[in-house]
Chain A
Amino acid sequence: MIKSSAAPSFLGTFALVFVAMGLLYAVDTVLAGMERAEGAAAAARLYREGLDLMHSGKNSDAMERFGDAIALERGNRDYQRALAQAQLAAGKTSDAEATLAALLESDSTDGFASLLMARVLEKEGKVPQAISYLHRAIYGDWNQDQAANQLRARFELIDLLARRNSKDELLAELMAVQDHIPLDLEMKKGRLYLQAGSAAHAAEVFQRVLQEDPGNLEAQIGVGEAEFAKGNYREANRDFETALRLAPDNADARQQLELSNQVLELDPTIRGLGMTERFRRSLKLVRMAADDATECTGHNPPADLAELLDKAATALKGNYNASRQNEASESNLDLAAQIWQARKRECKSAPPPDLPLALVLAKLAQ
């Protein structure tokens, strides 16, 4: 049994301890609040210094500032993203990847972190993963201007796909954003449509620009290129001529005009051509295809190509009267196409895509 004299001391000590604990908790809370506030202020200062350093290209110093800011305010994702940006800019891709991996582990919907991760991975040559992260960035969460940032991410994806020449994916992405692309990016959209192989969409875009601004040289050349890509060489030729009238010294327009001229001179499908001219052009195509194949495979071509080249030699020697020229033209064009296919199969080097012969034969194959 507790002694009556001891009870107050026992109870008093407990009471004192609990009062002390209450006071300590209050003091701790105040001190912790002060620490957080001071830490946050110092971290914000370091962050600003880091941004200034990063903008002036001093990425290593910026990394140090961001690292210190993170140490003061652990949970701040802006600081961590900035650190990753600085690491990426400094070429420390593995460090940036680690920083971003930690960020994305805690929140996989972080749009900006996903975008940065995509950039890092692209720099490391991991393009499929980069594309995957760009998709995450497009559908991820952004602190501010969600729609604009998502669109920016999609443009990065489009640029990447364009660089990789992934036409189908590129076209799919372009179709997804076609109504959201700002007017100042119309020209880029047209070019990308061209790159994605959708000449019709590209032509529409450039025509729209020309309606607004008839003197737009780039749009004029773009329309020409779109018509060229569609195989409308005559229209393309007209567009390039118009472009040269707008800017007589424009080398690009001149080069495109020359190419279209060469194609027009070679194309046997142009409306209004006489039978004789069509026959002449078919012979020219056979000769050019045979020459290219011979040059590519040397004097000992494979048996199937050699057989086709023999046929070409025979065709070139042939002398047809007007009544048989139509039939001979068809035969020659078929032979030229076969030689071209065999050449592409047997030769290591691919023919240049803007080779007039290749363009005409491609049009014939459609």
Chain B
Amino acid sequence: MDNPQPLSWTARLDQSLSRLRASEGRLSLVLSLVIGALVGLVVVAFILLTGRLAARMYPAGGSGVRRILVPVLGSLGTGYLLARYFPFARGSGIPQTKFALFINDGRILFRTVLGKFFCCSASLASGIALGREGPSVQVGGGLASVVARNLGLTPKQVRALVPAGCAAALAAAFNTPIAAVLFSLEEIMGDLHAEVLGSVVLSSATAWMFLHLVLGDDPLFHVSGYRLVHPSELAVYAALGLVGGLGSVCFVKLLLGLRARFMNLPKWTVWFQPAAGGLAVGLMGYFVPEVLGVGYNQVEKVLNGDIILKTVVLLAVLKIVATAVCYASGNAGGIFGPALFIGAMMGGAVGGLAHTIFPDSTAGPGAYALVGMGTAFAGIVRTPLTSVIMIFEITRDYTIIVPLMISNLIAFFISQKLQPVPIYEALAHQEGVHLPTAESRAQAERIQVRHAMRDVPVVLAPELPVAAALHQIKDGSLDAWPVVDSGVLRGMVRYRELERAAAGGGADRRVADLLEPANQNDHSEGEQTPHVHPDHSLSLALERMGTSGLGVLPVVSRANVRQLIGIVALNDILEAYGVASEASPKELGNP
């Protein structure tokens, strides 16, 4: 009897790969580990490179003028690179990652990853007052996306690995593996029960392990043990929650306001806009060097009660302004680190004041700085659970957890009340991106608008006279018609209004004049127009029709709310549900 010939190693490898690829669960497990390790090593390189660059840009005993020149030149250089080569590598990286995850099938380009890594490293090293954690998240998510796509995985599998990359990045950047998992689920996925939990945990732990392998077992901040001195102290922590909440709202509103102004500037100024941030932080840094960079050494000082009250207040105010200007002007960098800095300073200020007034019944300013970090994080980033765990992990101090929870929740509720749209969502809105909420993603599982929508039969130009518009749409088969200017949706005009204008002697008026006032100028963002996205549920479309009184809604892209994809009419929805329409076509918005 002949023995079967043994397989060569290449054949065995081929078989193993086939088995691995065939088993989705096993592949996910292996990739979570690989991505965790890869992202961990990349983020460690990012941290170390930034540190080494910063040490060279700011040698000991450097002059004050250097503190102005370096951030200006750094932001100019990176500004050019960002505008010319890496347009998706601006800002924090969190909204961009969510955009990729929910709208772009988890697709993040390798070029963006490279741009984020190097531009951000140079930018932060030059003293720009932003953080490294948000960018790390985009780098981590991007690497996961690149690896998964190169392995030929399906978009669904790619989307499942991006949060794992994000968690791995945050675990390595902050040295907080548990908070990284929570953040990935709470903020990136918007769902603590997401199916990707297993791979997120695995990659986070792997990245953390590699961080420790290279950099050792040091927490981000070394803090003396704090405890609650007296139960009445909880009132002071509640006051800190109030201050932290209000401070967070001020910061977010300032940042969004400045960002809107920068975005209104002409497009050709984009490449040197970051220099405004560099100049602002440079001028501040000339007088107060502590404002430059992420400032974690200052955070550690205030955590240990080593900074006086006056300085703490000054640093809190300057950092709010510096970070807002740096971010709004388009520099690459995140707001995690600055949020912690601002929170620590606000906490130090409140604690310093309380300890001066009630020295026997309150802890030192360091304890409040510690709680303040979580408070600002909860107020600005709006992830209360992550912020509690993060502070615990950063400091490895469990004793202050109850005051931290109280303070965090107060800040969170104040922030939610005064700034209803969370910062990352608001930033995405400014870019014309409408990220789906967890609720809308759940709805998307049911019948979606994409199943009932249709192409636009006719679009009206805003400069078109009313009479010509009426002629163009002839029979008035739809209740309302989209007005589009050079491919940009300006709004919806009702057929009835066109008829009324023509009958009232306004046949020569422009169609644009009949639009909602907010949509009449060229710079309007079209957000005032009721609309739906293709992945919205039909029930939401019905709801919006009811609210707006329109029988037809424009279907727009999530990536650009001014980009018209199609329309959906009431009758289309009824047909999708299998309900025959006997009403008049125009009433239903149907031919």
Contact = CB atoms under 8 A, between A and B. Distances in A.
Interface stretch (B42-50, B99-107, B349-357, B501-509): B42-50
A311 to B, nearest CB: 59
Residue among B18, B41, B42, B215 having the largest count of chain A Cβ atoms under 10 Å: B41
Interface stretch (B145-153, B404-412, B516-524): B145-153
Contact of A38 (B34, B55, B306): B55
A20 B222 CA distance: 33
Interface in A14-37: 14, 16-17, 20-21, 24-25, 27-29, 31-32, 34-35
A303 interface: no
B52 A34 contact: yes
A9 B306 contact: no
Contacts of B41: 21, 24-25, 28
Interface in B39-96: 41-42, 44-45, 48-49, 51-52, 55, 60
A28 B38 contact: no
A6 B152 contact: yes
A28 B44 contact: yes
A24 B60 contact: no
B587 interface: no
Contacts of B454: none
Contacts of B13: 11
Interface in A24-78: 24-25, 27-29, 31-32, 34-35, 38, 42, 45, 67-68, 71, 74
Contact of B52 (A2, A24, A31): A31
Interface in A157-197: none
A7 interface: yes
Interface in A270-306: none
Contact of A35 (B14, B52, B301): B52
Contacts of A2: 14, 17-18, 21-22
A11 B17 contact: yes
B214 interface: yes
Contact of B34 (A17, A31, A34, A74): A17
A13 interface: yes
B186 interface: no
B297 interface: yes
Contact of B49 (A1, A9, A31): A31
Contact of B297 (A13, A28, A71): A71
A236 B34 CA distance: 89
B214 A10 contact: no
A14 B37 CA distance: 13
A13 B150 contact: yes
B441 to A, nearest CB: 29
B224 interface: yes
Contacts of B49: 31
A147 interface: no
A335 B147 CA distance: 106
B335 to A, nearest CB: 24
B348 to A, nearest CB: 16
- Bin the interface of chain B by size: 20 to 34
B3 to A, nearest CB: 25
Interface string B17-41: 1100110000000000010011001
Given A25-B41, A31-B45, A9 B297 contact: no
A98 interface: yes
B572 interface: no
B300 A7 contact: no
Given A1-B18, A21-B37, A32 B152 contact: no
B48 A31 contact: yes
A162 B356 CA distance: 40
Contacts of B37: 21
Contacts of B147: 13, 17
B214 A13 contact: no
A35 to B, nearest CB: 6
A22 to B, nearest CB: 9
A121 to B, nearest CB: 18
A7 B37 CA distance: 23
Nearest to A12: B150
B360 interface: no
B56 to A, nearest CB: 10
B209 to A, nearest CB: 12
A301 B147 CA distance: 102
B439 interface: no
B582 interface: no
A68 B297 CA distance: 9
B445 interface: no
B475 interface: no
Contacts of A28: 41, 44-45, 48, 214
A42 B306 CA distance: 21
Given A1-B18, A28-B45, A31-B52, A45 B60 contact: yes
A38 B56 CA distance: 11
Nearest to A13: B150
B218 interface: yes
A14 to B, nearest CB: 8
Nearest to B35: A17
Nearest to B41: A24
Contacts of A32: 44, 48, 214-215
Contact of A24 (B21, B42, B222): B42
Contact of B38 (A9, A21, A27, A68): A21
Nearest to A98: B224
Interface string B114-147: 0000000000000000000000000000000001
A227 to B, nearest CB: 56
A10 B224 CA distance: 50
A40 to B, nearest CB: 13
Contacts of B301: 67
A35 B18 contact: no
Given A1-B22, A35-B48, A35-B52, A9 B152 contact: yes
Nearest to A38: B55
Contacts of A21: 37-38, 41
Interface in B299-328: 300-301, 306
A35 B51 contact: yes
B152 A10 contact: yes
A94 to B, nearest CB: 10
A13 B145 CA distance: 12
Given A1-B22, A32-B214, A71-B300, A13 B45 contact: no
B483 to A, nearest CB: 47
A107 B446 CA distance: 63
B39 to A, nearest CB: 10
B224 A25 contact: no
B214 to A, nearest CB: 5
Contacts of A7: 14, 17-18
B299 to A, nearest CB: 11
Contacts of A71: 297, 300
A20 B38 contact: yes
B567 to A, nearest CB: 40
A21 B37 CA distance: 8
B17 A10 contact: yes
A42 B60 contact: yes
A9 B18 contact: no
B33 to A, nearest CB: 11
B316 to A, nearest CB: 21
Nearest to B304: A67
Interface of B: 13-14, 17-18, 21-22, 34, 37-38, 41-42, 44-45, 48-49, 51-52, 55, 60, 147, 150-152, 214-215, 218, 222, 224, 297, 300-301, 306
9 contacts: A2-B17, A13-B150, A21-B41, A24-B41, A27-B45, A28-B45, A35-B48, A74-B222, A102-B224
Q: Which 8 A-B pairs have the closest CB atoms?
A: A31-B48, A24-B41, A2-B18, A13-B150, A28-B214, A28-B44, A13-B151, A2-B21
Given A13-B151, A20-B38, A24-B42, 16 more contacts: A1-B18, A2-B14, A10-B21, A11-B17, A17-B34, A17-B38, A24-B45, A25-B41, A28-B45, A34-B48, A35-B48, A42-B60, A45-B60, A67-B301, A71-B297, A71-B300
